[in-house]
Copies of this chain bind each other. A is one copy, B any other.
């Protein structure tokens, strides 16, 4: 199904040589001028503030002078280097160090909060209040602030004081119960839904609150719990449960929401762990099935009542899977995807992270970008995947620990170089 080339004139020209990341609006962010005071660590909070940084907000990460965000060092990449993990979740941010065990450090957080539009934290339950930086304290110095928190379990939950990490949220939020082989144990998806999945929902609410605040100056308190956030990503399973009356089940590579064969992965040459192609035919378009029969050389079955409807195919799923496999086994996954896709059948090769990392299309289109990090060297990493006027925003390297302490204390609070030197001497920064 070719589409008109006419409609592409407004986009950056597609050339092999020129990455698309330098298009018009990508260099100016939507959120230019927005100040985020970022007291987050690891992933759930940092993924949220990084999304805001990618859209142009000034995100100032407040870190412990002794080592900073534990994400810098908990996942080692090399001696004395920040981890790749840290680089991935903290691009485009600034870093300042502040000693939160020092009263002057806490006072500086208050001073910075007075100048900020948004305050974000994801400490363990109760920690931010024990520091004297809870919402009631911060809104006293800045009633218009948007104060955003990530919790493991929601306020009012029987588990509100419990610790949580990504995998705990995926267990308690239903994700694992619907992921895995049909008769096997629950699986934790490799995607960090408990962290980044939560961070994205909080980013949406922060942006909604910023939009209102721009008109009214109104502050707001936002809170998201990782367990609660998980329900949002398995709503099709709640639909399946409402229909069947039973909890949604695991279904391997097929659909937890119920079958619509063909739907699943089919084995390809040469038989490695990810040598499969996913094939699906839509409920809403019966033509997909007919196209598939043509591609696999089984035109003889077009119109055959044993296979013509979704219901009939559900009854003959093993036969269908076998006839498709007979075709896919003769091909590698990329070839299978090319042929099926070109014929208008929804199909996709199962690609691993190495194949994705090395696929030139991602780099050419700016979906992956290479940063030059002063300590870690060049690193190609996934960028914000939404294209704004043709290109994703450019990625800037994650900051070194305390890289912007002087700059930010100067620009936000008017402190002089001497003031900063004094704070450093006194162990405050």
Contact = CB atoms under 8 A, between A and B. Distances in A.
Given A193-B233, A207-B208, A382 B1 contact: no
Interface in A8-30: 8-11, 14, 20, 25, 29-30
Contact of A209 (B30, B135, B184): B30
A205 interface: yes
A44 B346 CA distance: 15
Q: How many copies does the complex hold?
A: 2
A321 interface: no
A85 B236 contact: yes
Contacts of A229: 385
Nearest to A124: B1
A9 B177 contact: no
A187 interface: yes
Contacts of A315: none
B346 A84 contact: no
Given A204-B55, A222-B388, A228-B362, A347 B168 contact: yes
B193 A248 contact: no
A161 B389 contact: no
B208 A55 contact: yes
Given A211-B214, A347-B168, A284 B70 contact: yes
B31 A208 contact: yes
Interface string A194-212: 0011001111110111111
Given A4-B129, A203-B204, 17 more contacts: A3-B126, A3-B129, A31-B212, A162-B341, A165-B280, A167-B278, A171-B276, A176-B253, A178-B353, A179-B190, A179-B191, A180-B187, A186-B253, A205-B386, A224-B385, A227-B348, A242-B379
B276 A185 contact: yes
A187 B197 contact: no
